[in-house]
Amino acid sequence: MTARLSELEALLADGDLWNDAERAQSLLKEQKELEGKRDKLAVPEKLVVDAAELIEIAEMEGDQSVQPDIAGVLDEAERMLDQMEFQRMLSGERDNAPAIITINAGAGGTESQDWAQMLLRMYLRYCERQGFRIEELDRQDAEDAGIKSVTLEVTGEYAYGLLKSESGVHRLVRISPFDSNARRQTSFAAVFVYPDIEEDIAIEVKESDLKVDTFRASGAGGQHVNKVSSAVRMTHIPTGIVVACQAERSQHKNRDKALKMLKARLYDLEMQARTADKQAIEDAKQDISFGSQIRNYVMHPYQLVKDLRTEHETSNVQAVMDGELDAFIKAFLLAQPGVAAA
């Protein structure tokens, strides 16, 4: 890494390089990414040095009271190194891309809509833990409680690579808070995760293939939101894919973001079609109901979250709902072909 950074510094110092703006920007991006990785690696290294100094002082002074401090420093260093090892499993072509997440409530009315909102909270908590930046692109609130659907753009290191494991149907079993008889209910919600493709990926979308509708945005935004049809819904006629965006006040900006979301979906569709050992994306969109789920969340009569693809499970349901998804994501990544052997 250090050697490559030295090479990049020399290349970027060459005035002729800037005659090729595209290459110069590519090298600047590589330099920034490598500097970030180098700086991240320096943190646990410093923690280990600090721990060694504390050990030396404790031995010289015969002071055992600092042992908890030493253990805490080393635990933090180990946690950071584990996270780096975790990220080494992310070698997919678009794993380091931002992610677009869509959550849709399944059949079942208020129960499933409330479950969709619970999943939204879970992913927001997870993204906050990772230091990701989150932008809500579109949201359809339910009439009574919960949400019908929501679309998020998540930006951060390996956002797509980490979140891609969440695509599929999520099943909840609990005592319904909406049932006066306190009966057990089963609810479903579907999560789809796509890489937010960069401008250098050529995805052609013909205007003749698009049906574009505008509507008034809902939610926060003041008087402007209520009076102007700034939100955009875009339908790709050949595939039937529908995307919507109401994050911006400008209809033009919402249209640009909706088009970007559509291209991400089309890119993902193309990648699925090219991969022989995966189903096409439309086949993956099974009914949001029994038999199609990837993960079960059971809150009654016992406590258990279990991923049906990897068999990983935990009885700490509350921790999972608070965004502690690392173990499930790691199990998914390890189960991918070639990862365990590497």
Our CA angle for 165, 169, 174, nearest 5°, is 115
- Contact (Cβ atoms closer than 8 angstroms) between residue 146 and residue 115: yes
Predicted confidence at residue 230, as pLDDT, reads: 81
- Number of CB atoms found within 10 A of residue 25's CB: 11
- Contact (Cβ atoms closer than 8 angstroms) between residue 326 and residue 320: no
Which residues of the chain fall below pLDDT 70?
198-202, 218-228, 274-292, 337-342
Tell me 164's DSSP state.
Answer: G
Residues of each domain in the chain carrying CATH 3.30.70.1660: 100-200+289-334
CA–CA distance, 261 with 203 (Å, rounded to integer): 11
CA–CA distance, 80 with 62 (Å, rounded to integer): 30
Q: 140 pairs with which residues across the strands?
A: 149
Q: How many CA atoms lie within 13 A of 225 on its CB side?
A: 10
Longest dimension (CA), the chain: 79
CA–CA distance, 223 with 244 (Å, rounded to integer): 21
**Token reading at 216:** 């008034």
- Residue 68: asked if its preceding bond is cis (omega within 30°), the reply is no
CA–CA distance, 7 with 17 (Å, rounded to integer): 13
- Number of CB atoms found within 10 A of residue 17's CB: 14
Give Cα 194 to chain centroid, integer Å. Answer: 9
Residues of each domain in the chain carrying CATH 3.30.160.20: 207-274
CATH number of 100-200+289-334: 3.30.70.1660
Residue identified by tokens 């796509």 is 194
Predicted confidence at residue 291, as pLDDT, reads: 56
CA–CA distance, 138 with 265 (Å, rounded to integer): 15
CA–CA distance, 285 with 282 (Å, rounded to integer): 5
Predicted confidence at residue 200, as pLDDT, reads: 52
Residues of each domain in the chain carrying CATH 1.20.58.410: 2-88
Please give the model's pTM, rounded to 2 decimal places.
0.66
Of 262, 255, 261, nearest in space to 240 by CA = 262
- Contact (Cβ atoms closer than 8 angstroms) between residue 235 and residue 241: yes
SS3 assignment, position 279: coil
What's 2-88's CATH class? mainly alpha
Q: How many residues does the chain have?
A: 342
Predicted confidence at residue 338, as pLDDT, reads: 60
- Contact (Cβ atoms closer than 8 angstroms) between residue 171 and residue 307: no
Tell me 143's DSSP state.
Answer: S
pLDDT per residue over 77-120, tens digit each?
Answer: 998 888 787 777 887 778 888 999 999 999 878 899 999 999 99
Predicted confidence at residue 15, as pLDDT, reads: 85
CA–CA distance, 148 with 104 (Å, rounded to integer): 6
CATH number of 207-274: 3.30.160.20
Our CA angle for 245, 279, 265, nearest 5°, is 15
